[in-house]
């Protein structure tokens, strides 16, 4: 039986007052980890929680978590908090505790980093859950109100071939 692992990233508090606090994010991360770790429900070995962290800390956690995975494992990566869409570069950004609203490209976590790390991850089964504004802008084809795509291994390209990465997000605007 394959092993299951989840990395749950939630940002509820922000240094920049342009991003209002999202207290429900803490509950979402807590209860999702509880459900996933229940033997009768999720059966996950462990859920790593990263809460209210900087861009650098989240990048390090995502990279380390995905690098440690084996081909037979199921991986879930959950990101909850504010999302920002930069019209200039057409990129979704995950807002972290140290993101500056007037410097999104430089201070927020870009979605392409996350997708690049998923592409490099050895696990054959990967699920990306985006619970943030503009999650539908993550460069994935949209179907039925949710973004569902599969990663091909080519930077920023998603299709139904090669590595299977299922990504879910519900919003293409704020």
pLDDT tens digit sequence for 29-57: 999 999 999 999 999 988 999 999 999 99
CA angle 64, 74, 108 (to 5 degrees): 40
Structure tokens at 158: 């998603």
Residue 129 has pLDDT above 70, yes or no: yes
CB-based contacts of 52: which residues, under 8 Å, 6+ apart? Answer: 10, 11, 12, 13, 97
Q: What is the pLDDT of residues 60-109, one digit of tens each?
A: 999 999 999 999 999 999 999 999 998 888 889 999 999 999 999 999 99
Distance CA 103, CA 30 (A): 30
C-alpha to C-alpha distance for 5 and 94, rounded to whole angstroms = 21
For residue 23, pLDDT beyond 50:
yes
Model pLDDT, residue 135 = 67
Does the pLDDT value for residue 145 go beyond 50?
no
Considering only CA atoms, which of 100, 9, 99 is closest in space to residue 52? 9
> What is the pLDDT, as a whole number, of residue 40?
92
Task: Give the Cα separation of 3 and 110 in Å (integer).
Answer: 28
Domains in the chain (CATH in brackets) are 4-169 (3.40.50.1460)
With b meaning 16 or more CB within 10 Å and e meaning fewer, what string describes 135-154? Answer: bbbbbbeeeeeebbbbbbee
> Among residues of the chain, what percentage have pLDDT more than 90?
67
| Whole-number percent of the chain with pLDDT over 70 | 76
Mean of the per-residue pLDDT values for the chain? 82
Q: Which residue has the higher pLDDT, 138 or 84?
A: 84
Residue 164 has pLDDT above 70, yes or no: no
Residues 6+ apart with CB under 8 A from 165: 115, 118, 119, 126, 127, 128, 149, 150, 151, 158
Looking at the predicted structure, is the pLDDT value of residue 119 above 70?
A: yes
Amino acid 166: pLDDT: 46
Query: Where residue 161 falls among pLDDT bands split at 50, 70, 90?
Result: very low
Q: Find, among 127, 97, 126, 119, the residue nearest to 109 by Cα.
A: 97
φ and ψ of 87, to 5 deg: -65, -30
């Amino acid at each position: 039986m394959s092993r299951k692992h989840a990395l749950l990233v939630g940002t509820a508090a922000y240094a920049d007052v342009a991003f209002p606090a999202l207290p429900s994010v803490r509950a979402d991360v807590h209860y999702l980890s509880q459900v996933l770790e229940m033997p009768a429900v999720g059966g996950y070995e462990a859920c790593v929680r990263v809460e209210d962290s900087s861009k650098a800390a989240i990048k390090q956690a995502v990279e380390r978590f995905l690098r440690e995975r084996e081909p037979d494992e199921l991986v879930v990566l959950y990101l909850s908090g504010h999302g920002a869409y930069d019209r200039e570069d057409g990129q979704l950004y995950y807002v972290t505790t140290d993101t500056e609203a007037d410097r999104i490209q430089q201070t927020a976590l870009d979605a392409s980093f996350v997708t690049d790390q998923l592409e490099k991850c050895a696990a054959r089964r990967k699920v990306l859950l985006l619970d943030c504004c503009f999650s539908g802008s993550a460069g994935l084809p949209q179907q039925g109100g949710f973004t569902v795509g599969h990663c091909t291994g080519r930077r920023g390209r998603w299709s139904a071939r090669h590595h299977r990465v299922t990504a879910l997000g519900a919003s293409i605007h704020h």
